[in-house]
Amino acid sequence: MMQNSNPPEIVGLIARHQTRLRGLVRCLLVRSSDVEDVLQEVNSVLWEKASEFQAGTDFWAWASQIARFKALNHIRKYSRDRLVFDDKLLGDLADLAHERLSQLDHRREALEGCLNELPPPQRQLIDLRYAGGHAIEAIAEIIGRPQASIRQTLYRVRQALLACIESKLASEGGAS
Amino acid sequence: MSSHTRFAELMSKVLDDVISDEEIIELHTLVDADPSLRSQLVDHLLLDTLLEENLGQEPLTALVDLVGDSTGTLTSPSPVLAKERTHVEASTKMTGRPWSWMSGWLALAASLLVVVSIFTLQGNREAFASASQIVQSAMRTHAAPIERIYVVEVKRGESNKSKFELPRDVRVATQGDRFWVQMRGYRDWAWGRNDQGAIWMTLGPRRAVVVNQDEIGVPLRYIGDLYTLNLETLLQGFLKYCRLEMSEGPVDTTIIVATPRRQWTNRPLQRATIEVDRETKAIRKLVIEREFGGDSYCTVTFSLVDSRLADESEYAVEGHLQEKSQLFADDTPTSAKRKMVLDWFGPVADRWILATPEADIQQQLSEESVTALKARVDLLFISLLKGDVGSCVKLTDPQILKEKGASQVAAYFRSVSVLIRTSKITRSDRRIVAVVSMDQGSRARVDIQVTLDGVDQPLGFEIWRLIDGQWYYQETPK
């Protein structure tokens, strides 16, 4: 018979799935501003419902349902965009995110490789944005280029990274 | 403009946190109309999440902030352009992420703490919120231009007692984050600290000395540590780094007990008890308990005795001097300051000012040790220039790595490395101007001057620790 998870186990599972949960919530909220609040709510619910989780079953499937529910609830409650963002679209986005996030470890590994392959100026931009946490305005001042140009270049670098990740995942899939 | 081009523009704004409500509605409409854009949207958002995780800029929940030390002692290990510093501060504000950050692995650990804290703090969250609101109210009250006077009482453990004789009547005047201290005894005198951490002290109504940080002897440093009351900073620290428990106090007061979740100052705080007036939100009493190990403890009690309109002038040394007085500061040799202080206070002030800081260095650190330290300082800078974060981590004090986590330290060095490379500082722009021994030679402060385009930048300091004959980077104090 299946056993309910004990507290340390569930704590470990919740912690290990934070990036996945954050990613899923982000894909539904799109804007980053409320992601942490919703994620906090998700964590609370996961903990409160810990006794319902059966040890040995698919934690991600269980947790992602809760995250999805919480994010949609948040959108309906607070978002001005609720009339535009219909349930079908949100469902599609959630499915897509869920699918991508099931390969998170591979994607993370591929990303690390791709970051190392970036030419130094592009890597510098990414570092300033993410490691330094600088806004575009600040990066533009530091580098001495217009904001629009920085934003465009950053977008291109992100696209290059996405293409690189897909290529690495494809070759990995082909090799295996 | 094609829908894909517009999508790229809008997506770029989403990722840079600058998209408006109208634009996000437009983005939704585009994605709704064109299913091929949905996967692009998801891919970009997940990449953004992964980049934040991998490169260390992780927005954390308020609850994580409650359970984890976040600002830490690590700041830029090298002085960089003041301009760049402004950018860093400004951009942090602009990104709208007031929470501190940790790198990916540390975020996972922090996430674990989030959940643990949900478990342990569930019942206490409301209590904490109330306690923190009271501390915040107290901060607002003390920011008003009202000066509050506290009488200070110090109790020391046996091993601390014999160290120095402390005056019996000490009063601290404080307003916001500023303070000055009136000491009454055999001599009446006033003192305070300036922005650079130097201690100014009056020697009668017409003379005063400013003792720079590297001139301060152990007894004077001890006195400074005991009576310094940067109330605003202290209360902010309580909010950020302490568990707060609230209870009813005597006569219309609320008691807040602040217990650090981990060490957050170099003066190990064991507990602070704050008695806040329920009506005025002023702090009536503040008890700070410090534990240095064994019976080497110290309890400092600040009790409110008076409130009055602040006299701004008294927060600087000049406000305590009469006309035609003399101020002995940077242009006065240390030995001359020392003699004046000794003449005024007598033998009790024998070690208040170091005989000569330079002599102290020679006494505590051998020439070989200083040379080795300078080499390590240089090696850290070269590693930062090269973006060799691994070497920077290896040069870091293992205790710091243990406390902060190697990932956080690495993420920090990575960020600093980018700044240094961006500001184009070279080795020849930097020079070590002094090495000051600390803690009987077990640590050292390295003073570094950066000159850019012929202009000296503000002096930077690095603290290094000697472990088994090898120097390790500890921190860069502000």
pLDDT level of residue B202 (50, 70, 90 thresholds): very high
As given in the structure block, the two tokens for residue B41 are 């949207």
pLDDT level of residue B400 (50, 70, 90 thresholds): confident
- Residue located via tokens 């850019």: B452
Q: Is residue B58 over pLDDT 60?
A: no
Q: Is residue B84 over pLDDT 80?
A: no
Q: Is residue B4 over pLDDT 80?
A: yes
Domain with CATH 1.10.1740 in chain A: 7-102
A138 to B91: CB separation less than 8 angstroms, yes or no: yes
- Residue located via tokens 């020392």: B338
* pLDDT per residue as tens digits for the range B235-290: 887 877 778 888 888 878 899 999 886 555 555 678 899 999 988 889 999 999 88
B47 to A111: CB separation less than 8 angstroms, yes or no: yes
Task: Tell me the count of A-B CB pairs closer than 8 A.
Answer: 200
Q: Which pLDDT value is given to residue B10?
A: 92
Residues B303, B151: contact at Cβ < 8 Å?
yes
Residues A53, A5: contact at Cβ < 8 Å?
yes
> DSSP string of A29-91?
H-SSTTHHHHHHHHHHHHHHTGGGSBTTS-HHHHHHHHHHHHHHHHHHHH-TTTTTS-HHHHH
Report residue B13 CA to chain centroid gap.
34
What is the sign, positive or negative, of the torsion defined by CA atoms of A71, A73, A78, A84? positive
Q: Which pLDDT value is given to residue B164?
A: 59
Q: Which pLDDT value is given to residue B364?
A: 66
Q: Is residue A156 over pLDDT 50?
A: yes
Residues 109-128 of A with CB under 8 A from B: 111-112, 115, 124, 126-128
- Nearest CA to B170 among B155, B186, B150, B199? B150
Q: Name the DSSP letter for residue A128.
A: I
Which chain A residue's Cα is nearest to B105? A16
Class of domain B56-102+356-478: alpha beta
Which of A27, A29, A38, A41 to mutate to test binding with chain B, by most B CBs within 10 Å of its CB? A27
β-pair partners for A79 = none
For chain B, the structural domain boundaries read 1-55, 56-102+356-478, 129-354
Per-residue pLDDT averaged across B456-477, rounded?
A: 83
Per-residue pLDDT averaged across B76-103, rounded?
A: 29
Residues 14-73 of A with CB under 8 A from B: 14-16, 18-19, 22-23, 26-27, 30-33, 35-37, 39-40, 43-44, 46-47
Q: Which pLDDT value is given to residue B81?
A: 27
Q: Which pLDDT value is given to residue A4?
A: 52
Which of A14, A16, A36 to mutate to test binding with chain B, by most B CBs within 10 Å of its CB? A36
Q: Which pLDDT value is given to residue A45?
A: 85
Which chain B residue's Cα is nearest to A161? B47
Q: Map residue A160 onto helix, strand or coil.
A: helix
B414 to A131: CB separation less than 8 angstroms, yes or no: yes
Q: Which pLDDT value is given to residue B171?
A: 93
Per-residue pLDDT averaged across B169-184, rounded?
A: 89
* pLDDT per residue as tens digits for the range B354-393: 865 544 444 567 878 888 898 899 899 988 888 888 889 9
Per-residue pLDDT averaged across B425-437, rounded?
A: 81
Q: Is residue A114 over pLDDT 80?
A: yes
Which of 3.40.50.1100, 1.10.510.10, 1.20.58.1290, 1.10.10.10 is the CATH number of A104-175?
1.10.10.10
pLDDT level of residue A176 (50, 70, 90 thresholds): very low
Per-residue pLDDT averaged across A152-165, rounded?
A: 94
Least confident of A17-26, B133-142, B289-298, B334-343: B289-298
Report residue B259 CA to chain centroid gap.
18
Q: Which pLDDT value is given to residue B249?
A: 82
Q: Is residue B413 over pLDDT 50?
A: yes
Per-residue pLDDT averaged across A102-127, rounded?
A: 88
pLDDT level of residue B97 (50, 70, 90 thresholds): very low
Topology agreement, domain B56-102+356-478 and domain B129-354? no
Q: Which pLDDT value is given to residue B64?
A: 30
pLDDT level of residue B91 (50, 70, 90 thresholds): very low
Q: Which residues in chain A touch residue B42, judged by CB atoms under 8 angstroms apart?
A: 27, 93, 96-97, 100
> DSSP string of A5-46?
PPHHHHHHHHHHTHHHHHHHHHHHH-SSTTHHHHHHHHHHHH
Q: A135 — contact with chain B (CB < 8 Å)?
A: yes
Per-residue pLDDT averaged across B449-473, rounded?
A: 80
Q: Which pLDDT value is given to residue B158?
A: 67
Residues B304, B148: contact at Cβ < 8 Å?
yes
**Which one of A33, A131, A135 has the shortest CB-CB distance to B411?**
A131
Q: What is the CA radius of gyration of chain B?
A: 26
Three-state SS letters, chain B? CCHHHHHHHHHHHHHCCCCCHHHHHHHHHHHHHCCHHHHHHHHHHHHHHHHHHHHCCCCCCHHHHHHCCCCCCCCCCCCCCHHHHHHHHHHHHHCCCCCCCCCHHHHHHHHHHHHHHHHHHHHHHHHHHHHHHHHHHHHHHHHCCEEEEEEEEEEECHHHHCCCCCCCEEEEEEECCEEEEEEECCCCEEEEECCCCCEEEECCCCEEEEECHHHECHHHHHHHHHHCCCHHHHHHHHHHHEEEEEEECCCCEEEEEEEECCCCCCCCEEEEEEEEECCCCCEEEEEEEEECCCCCEEEEEEEEEEEEECCHHHHCHHHHCCCCCEEECCCCCHHHHHHHHHHHHCHHHCCCECCCHHHHHHHHCCHHHHHHHHHHHHHHHHHHHHCCHHHHHHCECHHHHHHHCHHHHHHHHHHHHHHHHHHCCCHHHEEEEEEEEEHHHCEEEEEEEEEECCEECCCEEEEEEEECCEEEEEECCC
Q: Which pLDDT value is given to residue B395?
A: 93
Q: A86 — contact with chain B (CB < 8 Å)?
A: yes
* pLDDT per residue as tens digits for the range A47-98: 788 888 887 788 899 999 999 999 988 888 766 544 456 778 888 999 999 9
Class of domain B129-354: mainly beta
pLDDT level of residue B114 (50, 70, 90 thresholds): very low
Q: Which residues in chain B touch residue A33, judged by CB atoms under 8 angstroms apart?
A: 17, 96
Q: Which residues in chain B touch residue A129, judged by CB atoms under 8 angstroms apart?
A: 16, 51
Per-residue pLDDT averaged across B161-179, rounded?
A: 78
What whole-number percentage of chain B has pLDDT above 70? 74
Which of 3.30.1740, 1.10.1740, 1.10.287, 1.10.3470 is the CATH number of A7-102?
1.10.1740
Least confident of A112-126, B68-82, B122-136, B387-401: B68-82
**Which one of B32, B84, B415 has the shortest CB-CB distance to A131?**
B415
A11 to B116: CB separation less than 8 angstroms, yes or no: yes
As given in the structure block, the two tokens for residue B121 are 């703090």
Which of A155, A162, A166 to mutate to test binding with chain B, by most B CBs within 10 Å of its CB? A155
Q: Which residues in chain B touch residue A20, judged by CB atoms under 8 angstroms apart?
A: none
* Global confidence as pTM: 0.41
